[in-house]
């Protein structure tokens, strides 16, 4: 009898999956969508039960992030190709949000499940010019990273992920990194001090790495 292949296992896993639960609402289009957690909950049990593991690797790109889901099992792998997502803000919040969005869509695409309602192309249409919005009071920090509040552990961890995987690696000059993300960092420092310490450690490690590289460059001159 022929040995089982990754594709055969994936076929069986897909037959056991349901679509992700639409547990979030897009405030702009009033459509429902599935959070990253909901997509993982829908896909992971069936994949693992059939001997399939998945990883998601981030691929930095200019002004955004790209995520690729890779399926592993039975000595084989299936790479699904990167899903690029631009960052709305060039901050850790912006990159964290883009990463969460890319992970959600990449995994849903890889296993063939729905992650949001079909809006018949509404979200992809070019928006018509609108009058300048009225000035409103600044909203408290509750940005990006899957619409998480950075005072919560989940929100702070999402920010930390973007901080380590995207923000620090893409900067050779760290002088403005904390200033550019002051609001989120202050919130995390106040409400999630352990995660704030991880952020500082990552920052110090990146700083030491840059200083060592600079010393090596000077030594070669």
- pLDDT tens for the chain, residues 1 to 221: 567 899 999 999 999 999 899 888 876 667 788 899 999 999 999 999 999 999 999 887 877 889 999 999 999 999 999 999 888 776 777 778 888 889 999 999 999 998 877 654 455 444 444 444 454 443 343 333 344 577 888 878 878 877 787 777 766 777 777 777 778 888 888 998 998 998 888 888 888 888 887 777 666 66
Output the pLDDT for position 29.
Answer: 64
The tokens of 34 are what?
A: 């599935």
Output the pLDDT for position 140.
Answer: 40
**What single-letter DSSP state applies at residue 183?**
H
Half-sphere exposure of 67 (CA within 13 A, CB side): 26
Q: How far apart are CA 100 and CA 16, in angstroms?
A: 25
For residue 10, what are the contacts with CB-CB under 8 A and spacing of at least 6? 47, 50, 52, 71, 73, 78, 111
Instruction: List C-alpha distances in Å: 196 to 43, 182, 210.
Output: 31, 12, 21
Output the pLDDT for position 47.
Answer: 97
Predicted TM-score of the model (pTM): 0.57
Contact by Cβ (8 Å): 57, 67: yes
Output the pLDDT for position 118.
Answer: 60
Output the pLDDT for position 119.
Answer: 53
Burial class (CB in 10 A: 0-12, 13-18, 19+), 149: middle
Q: How far apart are CA 194 and CA 185, in angstroms?
A: 12
Output the pLDDT for position 3.
Answer: 77
Which three-class secondary structure state does DSSP give residue 61? Answer: strand
Output the pLDDT for position 33.
Answer: 87
Q: How far apart are CA 120 and CA 124, in angstroms?
A: 9
SS3 content of the chain, % helix, strand, coil (to 5): 50, 15, 40
Number of Cβ atoms within 10 Å of the Cβ of 218: 8
For residue 36, what are the contacts with CB-CB under 8 A and spacing of at least 6? 100, 103, 104, 107, 146
């Amino acid at each position: 009898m022929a040995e089982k292949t990754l594709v055969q296992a994936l076929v069986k896993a897909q037959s056991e999956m349901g679509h992700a639960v639409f547990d979030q609402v897009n405030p702009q289009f009033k459509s429902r969508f599935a959070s990253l957690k909901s997509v993982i909950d829908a896909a992971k049990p069936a994949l693992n039960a059939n001997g399939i593991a998945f990883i998601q690797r981030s691929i930095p790109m200019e002004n955004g992030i790209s995520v690729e889901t890779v399926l592993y099992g039975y000595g084989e792998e299936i790479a699904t190709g990167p899903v690029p997502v631009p960052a709305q803000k060039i901050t850790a919040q912006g990159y964290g949000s883009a990463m969460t969005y890319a992970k959600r869509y990449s995994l849903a695409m890889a296993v063939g499940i729905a992650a949001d309602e079909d809006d018949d192309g509404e979200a992809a249409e070019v928006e018509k010019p609108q009058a300048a919005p009225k000035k409103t009071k600044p909203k408290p920090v509750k940005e990006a990273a899957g619409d998480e509040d950075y005072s919560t552990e989940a929100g702070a961890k999402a920010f930390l992920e973007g901080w380590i995987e995207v923000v620090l690696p893409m900067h050779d000059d760290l002088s403005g990194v904390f200033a550019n993300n002051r609001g989120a960092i202050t919130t995390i420092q106040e409400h999630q001090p352990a995660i704030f310490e991880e952020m500082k450690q990552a920052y110090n490690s990146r700083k030491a790495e840059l200083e060592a590289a600079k010393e090596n460059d000077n030594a070669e001159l």
